[in-house]
Structure 1
Amino acid sequence: MTSGLLLEPIDTPNSESSNSGQHFRPYSSANHHVTKGRYITSNDPRGYIPVYEYPLNNQWIMLDMDDGYVLWTGIWKALGNSKADIVKIIESQPDIASKLRRVRGGYLKIQGTWMPYEVALRLARRVAWPIRHELVPLFG
């Protein structure tokens, strides 16, 4: 990564994470109230998803603390786009399809398409200009 790395891994040797103990954290922002959450789901081998989260346009922006996956559905809907449009983006970029994680069922807040941080950042640079200031805690 470059010096513009937006989320720094935090070493925690006794972590339960499957990602070698790396944890991710959001950037601090005076304009956003980021909280921690932990949502139980059968869609994840951990049995839960630990997240940093904050509201934006009646949607939740979420970042998985352990592996840095971003809930793209929250960003996409905060832009005012429909869920069907996510499918169009994914179909137009088949190289990212294998990297996606879909959460269906369970707690509504965590349902949707999750993607690796780098992929979400790349897409946000292309399509999320109108809410760029609201994504500071996530992408810097």
Structure 2
Amino acid sequence: MTKKRTAKQEDSDEDDGYLNEPVAYRPYPVTNTKIKKTKYSTSLDPRGYIPVYEFTINNQPIMWDRENGYVHFTGIWKALGNNKADIARLVDTHPDLASTIKKVRGGFLKIQGTWMPHDKAYELCRRTCYEVRDELVSLFG
């Protein structure tokens, strides 16, 4: 995985199907990964929905919020073959995460779990996701 993009301004010069969305959170183009753009309704978000980019790794949905970049880390963790309960221990070992993560409970099953800022997810993935690093290029570059 390489360093993620840092620009968060909107870019309307390209016609790649992702216009008017923050550049930093657009998927990196990868030929072997089909990424879909969708929304999941939820009353747990002030917007009433979570707009995401989504693809799968090892039959687990990998998604991130198109507008604020929050990454559904539970999907990545489960794609590695780990138990989602282990995320609590991972967060305990990184106290700086506690104030930035969002835990979605209830509602649509696919979006339930731990969501964290893009930069925090990138740092954790650099340490823990070697087995799926190539599949995460769409998300982190």
Alignment TM class, shorter chain as reference: 0.7 to 0.9
In structure 2, the residue matched to 1:31 is 32
Matches of 2:125 and 2:110, distance apart in 1: 20
Superposed displacement of residue 4, structure 1: 3.6
Unaligned runs of 5+ in 2: 12-19
Superposed displacement of residue 8, structure 1: 4.5
In structure 1, the residue matched to 2:8 is 9
Superposed displacement of residue 63, structure 1: 1.0
Unaligned runs of 5+ in 1: 13-20
Change in CA separation of 1:7 and 1:106 when aligned onto 2, cut-off 3 Å: farther
CA RMSD of aligned residues (A): 2.0
In structure 1, the residue matched to 2:113 is 112
In structure 2, the residue matched to 1:74 is 75
Residues 7-59 of structure 1: per-residue CA shift (max 9 Å, x gap): 653517xxxxxxxx862211010010001010000111111000000011111
Matches of 1:91 and 1:9, distance apart in 2: 29
Percent of aligned pairs with the same residue?
Answer: 52
In structure 1, the residue matched to 2:16 is none
**1:99 aligned to 2:100?**
yes
* One-letter code aligned to 1:125: R
Q: Normalising by structure 1, what TM-score? A: 0.87
Superposed displacement of residue 109, structure 1: 1.0
Q: Contact 1:7–1:27 (CA<8 Å) still a contact in 2?
A: no
In structure 2, the residue matched to 1:83 is 84
Superposed displacement of residue 5, structure 1: 3.3
Residues 61-80 of structure 1: per-residue CA shift (max 9 Å, x gap): 00100000000000000000
In structure 2, the residue matched to 1:17 is none
The ranges of structure 1 where at least 4 consecutive aligned residues each deviate by more than 6 angstroms after the TM superposition are none
Q: Normalising by structure 2, what TM-score? A: 0.86
